[in-house]
Structures are given as C-alpha cells and as structure tokens.
Amino acid sequence: MENKNYQQLSRTFLRLSRFSHLSAIASWDMFAMMPPGGSRARGEALAELSVLQHQILTDKKMAEWLRGAEQEDLNDLEQANLREMQRHYQQAALLPEALVEAKSLAGSRCEHAWRSQRPANDWDGFSENLKEVVKLSREEAAIRAEAKGCSRYDALLDIFEPDMTSARLDALFGDLRSWLPDLLARAVEKQERTALITPQGPFPVAQQRELGLEAMRLLGFDFDGGRLDVSAHPFCGGVPEDVRITTRYDENELFSALFGVIHETGHARYEQNLPREWPGQPVALARSTAIHESQSLFFEMQLGRSRPFLKLLLPQVVSRFGQQPAFEEENYLAWNQRVKPGFIRVDADEVSYPAHVVLRYEIERALIDGDIEVDDIPALWDEKMQQWLGISTTGNYRDGCMQDIHWTDGGFGYFPSYTLGAMYAAQLFQAARQALPNLDASIAAGDLGALFDWLRQSVWQHGSRFTTSQLMINATGDDLNPRYFREHLTARYL
C-alpha cells in the first residue's frame, strides 16, 4: 500500500477528530444548557474523553508511523499535514496521562465554581481553586519548556500561537506602549467635546436576539450548520459542520450583545469555511488562536464598527426598538465608536482593549514563570489598570481579576492572541481594501460577498496549510506589522 504510514496517521487523526467533535458539543452544552447539578458528572466525562484522546495520540505506534511517513513520497499538502500531525503528537506525548486528567478535572471544578463566585465577588473562594489550576499548569509548562528548550511561559504560548515568543511579544507590545496611551488620551479628549445621548432602554431580549440573528444573516452565517444561544461568557464552540455561538443579554444595554454576536460570527464564519476536503486532518484546522481572533475582530471592529456598516444596521435597530434621540445617525455612529476606558475587557473599545490584554499577559507570564503567586494577582491587577487606564479595581474582584474565564481551565498563553488578532485584522482589512477599491460602497449597500470571497481565498480555505507568517505574507504581502493597527486607530479616532 502506498504511503501506508501516512494513511495510518490520517485514519487515526480522523478518529481523534470525532472524539473532539463530541467533546466540543458536550463542552458547549456545559456552558449554555446544562443544569448546575450536572457539573461534576460532565467534568468527569470530559476528563475521561481527554484521557482517551491522549492515549490514542500518544500510542507508541504513532511515533513509528510519524517516522515512517517522513520517508514516504508526500505532496505539499500531505507534508503540511504531517508537520501539523507531528506538532499535535509532540504537544501530547510530553504530558503524563495523570496530569492530563488532573488538569481537566481541576479546570471543570474551577470554571463551574467561578460562575457563582464571580457575581458574589468571592476572590478567596475562587483563588483556592485557581491555585490548583496554576500548580498543574506550571507542571505542564515545566515539562514542555524542558523539551522545547524555552521559558515555561513560551512553552504554553506555543500551544495557542505556534512560533510566537514572549521576546517577540515584548517588542510588539513595547511598540504599542510607545504610542497607544497618547492616542487613547487624545481620542478621549476629542470625543469629550461632543455630548452623546445614551440609548434609553429597556431593550427586550427577544428583540435583541432578532437583531443579532439579522446581523448574522447579513454576515453570511450558515444556519444549517450552526446556532445562537446564551452563556455567562460569549464564545464560539462546536465544530465546522455545527458551529455554536453564544452571547449574553442586558435589557438596559443594547449594543454589547449585538457586537458580541458579530464578534462570534467572525469566528464562526472562519470555522464554517475551513477546508472540508481534508476531513479530520490537522491541516484543516484553524491556523492559530490569533488568526482566529483576527477573523472575529475583522467582523466586529474593522467591518462592524465602520461607518458604512453601522449605517446599514441602523434601520434594523430603529425598526425593532423605535426611534429615539440616541438613534439619530451621527449620535448613533459616535456612540458605537466611542472610546471610554472601563473595567471589562469584553466591553472595551478597540483603543483601550490592548491595555486589558497587555496587563493580563504580564501577569500570567509572571505567574507561570513563578515570579508571582495567585495571592499577588489582585494588587498587581489594580496597579496595572491604574497605569494604563487610570481605573482602580481595589476590592472589586468581579470587575477585575475574576472577570475572565480563561484562567479557570488553565488557558495561560491565550490572552496575547486578542491583541495579535487586532493587529492581524487591521493588516488584512487594509489588504482587502486594496484588492476591493469600492469596498465602502459595497458595505453601505449590504453587498458583502466580494469581501467574504477575499477572506475565503486569502485565509479561510487554507486551514493550517501555511505557517502564520506565510499565511500573512501570502494574504497581505507582509509579515505581521503593527503599523497597520496604528494607522487604523489613528484614522478612525483622530
């Protein structure tokens, strides 16, 4: 049989992808539908599934097949797939099964308790569970770092963002730090000259949901392969054939849920357009978390908060909630492009958002590298919020260091993806604008087909075929360059 090692690998990864499918839908259900009493049993079932996947992926036959496949006559695509298979294998083979199970259980326990601890501002209760998650994450990081010959934090960063290092992040974020605080201050000062009228609720949830569904239709979401639900923290989950997105509603605040939906629709469209002709293969997966985030921010910030798109949505807003002074065109546009530093990352405008990410990056890196402990987080959080945004979180854990879900299950190394994603999105949108000279007019007319075709050809259809750098060079002619993000923010806000 030709390329028999490679074919064995392909069959095994197809099998693994089916278990991942079940795990993804069970996780979605846990966040969106499951009654509280199901938490422990679901956590144990998911841990069992992750152990089973780990056993399949680290079976000693896998190492033999990977070695054998290297000698086989593979085309470019198969070689890219083999590269990704080796990466998945190496990521898994390093970890003992007991650690995989312990981490899954500790994460489920911490996340479930967080749901009630956050509203109660219960840092002491939360920190007890978080300490166990951090302990296990440090064990994982130490094992990975030794194998890769890098820092503990870089070893975890590599899981989410292949080939990214904290040294490169420090350079990118250092560049941001050199100009962002000034741009933020100037944008706030400029906007303070114009008084804004606040939209007056209540905005019934049923109508908010309808508005979100209308935005999803406009953005090309395939409802035969996905759905919209509610969760404590908005997310996109599931699998390319069955994408699950969630938002959260507040009857006094209209646009938070809407732009949450638009953001998650960006993730969903990427998933729905990943290559289906390589079923279950690692090369058909999304390239990285930052590229994934670039798609959600492309939709939410580059497209969603652009003047032509906001104007396109305005009649939909008025038809559902009635005319009011806040929905006069210029006020409505300014309201949805306002820059206002606040406590909550997911509600932050795109100018102050990077501050939320950099502070989390600095804290989680110090935590994993052992420079600080869990008990140090609240004071550090407050200090960095004051430095960046002039806001204190002393005693306010709910809106401070307890607001995110990522650390509850050991997702250390994920946060940088958000600001990397914003940089990638700005660069991609600029390239799309060059390729499509009439883009603004098309958006204003609600004709987004050409833009989505460009994304499909430049990003979506390639899955993980190329490295992140190569994907960006192919799409934009340039590797990641923060200049595009700075130019975008300057043009929109100054």
Q: Nearest CA to 368 among 115, 156, 138, 55?
A: 138
Give CA separation, 477 vs 428, 470, 485, in Å: 10, 9, 16
CB 379 within 8 A of CB 401: no
Structure tokens belonging to residue 182: 């000034």
Beta bridge partners of 230: 247
pLDDT at 19 (0 to 100): 97
Given 111, 264, 271, 350, the catalytic residue: 264
pLDDT at 484 (0 to 100): 98
**Three-class secondary structure of residue 242 per DSSP:** strand
Give CA separation, 447 vs 43, 153, 219, 294, 296, in Å: 44, 44, 10, 21, 19
pLDDT at 347 (0 to 100): 85
Q: Is 70 a residue of the active site?
A: no
Exposed / middle / buried, residue 63 (Cβ in 10 Å: 0-12, 13-18, 19+)? middle
Interatomic CA distance for residues 5 and 50, integer angstroms: 25
**Binding residue positions for Zn(2+):** 263, 267, 293
- Per run of 10 residues, the mean pLDDT along the chain (length 494 residues) is 92 97 96 93 94 94 97 97 96 91 94 95 98 98 96 96 95 95 96 96 97 98 98 92 96 95 98 96 97 98 98 98 98 97 92 97 97 98 95 97 95 97 98 98 98 98 97 97 97 96
CB 246 within 8 A of CB 265: no
Range list of H helices, 33-75? 39-58, 60-70
pLDDT at 1 (0 to 100): 59
Q: Nearest CA to 245 among 259, 253, 255?
A: 259
